[in-house]
Amino acid sequence: RKEVEQDPGPFNVPEGATVAFNCTYSNSASQSFFWYRQDCRKEPKLLMSVYSSGNEDGRFTAQLNRASQYISLLIRDSKLSDSATYLCVVNLYGGTSYGKLTFGQGTILTVHP
Amino acid sequence: DGGITQSPKYLFRKEGQNVTLSCEQNLNHDAMYWYRQDPGQGLRLIYYSQIVNDFQKGDIAEGYSVSREKKESFPLTVTSAQKNPTAFYLCASSIDSAEAFFGQGTRLTVV
């Protein structure tokens, strides 16, 4: 089983749609969680951190469910500029893999007019 | 400006040669990471380091080597033992469990 798993998509949605991505992780010692965005042929950039209480940044909402070991990202009112690959990231702080930062395979989102 | 710098941006290697990719950061981050990304794929962890003079293998360390002699620097050597080295290589740094910042990457092509 992969340490971090995402649905690779692709997701094709019209402008204004709401879209949700999920990500599961296998190691319960995982401590920090993030969503990154990657544009074509560029480096990943932080979209938002994910906190246990859930957090929101404008049109983006991230949630963490430690009991079920998954995190989610919700994008409301999609824009053309939201088209990118969204990467789920887990930072492991425990055991022999202390500080291991693991990425999911990414979910491709295309927003069309 | 503070940041993380990778060089070169593009690198061509002949089969059987070792090459070293540079990664330097002036963010005073303790942790540094190397990832490999193939077309249409996610990032796979090669090596990571939490502190100077210490590093751990990631998920795909075979055919690669690293050193961490200085806090600011974490060079990656792609050895001739790496059978399929053509890829996009990304270096990142972070503080503890906080978010990681990436360099702009190096595209390595074997010719």
Cα B103 from Cα B93, distance rounded (Å)? 9
Residues B48, A32: C-beta atoms closer than 8 Å:
no
Task: Specify the pLDDT at position A87.
Answer: 96
* A–B interface: beta-carbon pairs under 8 A: 58
> How far is the alpha carbon of B103 from chain A, nearest alpha carbon, in Å?
7
For residue range A67-97, what is the model confidence (pLDDT) as tens digits?
Answer: 999 999 999 999 999 999 999 999 887 666 6
For residue range B12-54, what is the model confidence (pLDDT) as tens digits?
Answer: 999 889 999 999 999 999 999 999 999 888 999 999 999 999 9
Residue to substitute from B99, B101, B102, interface A, most A β-carbons within 10 A: B99
For residue range B73-82, what is the model confidence (pLDDT) as tens digits?
Answer: 999 999 999 9
Task: Specify the pLDDT at position A9.
Answer: 85
Listed residue (B97, B95, B83, B103) closest to B34, CA to CA: B103
Beta bridge partners of B74: none
Residue of B42, B50, B94 with shortest CB distance to A104: B42
